Amino acid sequence: MINLIIDTAGEKIFLKIISKDIDYNTKYDNNRENFDELVNIIFNFLKKNKINLSTIDNIFINRGPGKFTSIRSAISIIKAIKISKNVNIYGYCSSQIIDNNYDILLKLLKEGRLTKNYIQPKYPN
């Protein structure tokens, strides 16, 4: 099972691929130029790590709270991927990631604590 994690809520854009045999990640500054190019950043990350989009089983997206525009961009991109590739998508909150341990998402998924295919952004008040 191949899992893609996308976190655009903080100061960095964080991408991670987790599977039984692999663990790749990268970070980019979360600025206007990068979230305008987010779809290219994601596809280049997959290409660099020789991961075909059609082999991804789950995509996890940070729904906030965090940067409004980059969260909206990331959610739009993964919803388009879901429609075109029929991949499962799961939203999580920034507070669920402790000490940058994104592997916790697989545990939360296994425990049924993440909602499948329903992403509601969470913005700061």
Structure tokens at 96: 């669920």
Structure tokens at 51: 């991961």
SS3 call for 27? strand
Average pLDDT over residues 72-93: 93
Q: Return the H-helix or E-strand segment holding 83.
A: helix 68-85
Q: Are 61 and 74 in contact (CB under 8 A)?
A: yes
Q: What is the pLDDT of residue 68?
A: 85
Model confidence over 8-22: pLDDT tens digits? 999 999 999 999 888
Least confident segment among 8-17, 92-101, 115-124: 115-124
Average pLDDT of every residue of the chain: 91
pTM of model > 0.75: yes
What angle (nearest 5°) sits at the alpha carbon of residue 59, between those of residues 56 and 64?
165
DSSP letter at 116 equals B
Residue 80 has pLDDT above 80, yes or no: yes
Question: In angstroms, rounded to a whole number, what is the distance separating the alpha carbons of residues 46 and 11?
Answer: 21
Q: Are 5 and 45 in contact (CB under 8 A)?
A: no
Buried b (16+ CB within 10 A) or exposed e, 103-125: eebbeebeeeebeeeebebbeee
Model confidence over 30-56: pLDDT tens digits? 998 987 899 999 999 999 999 999 999
Question: In angstroms, rounded to a whole number, what is the distance separating the alpha carbons of residues 81 and 78?
Answer: 5
Q: What is the pLDDT of residue 125?
A: 53
Average pLDDT over residues 110-116: 91
Percent of the chain at pLDDT above 70? 97
Residue 25 has pLDDT above 80, yes or no: yes
Structure tokens at 56: 């991804």
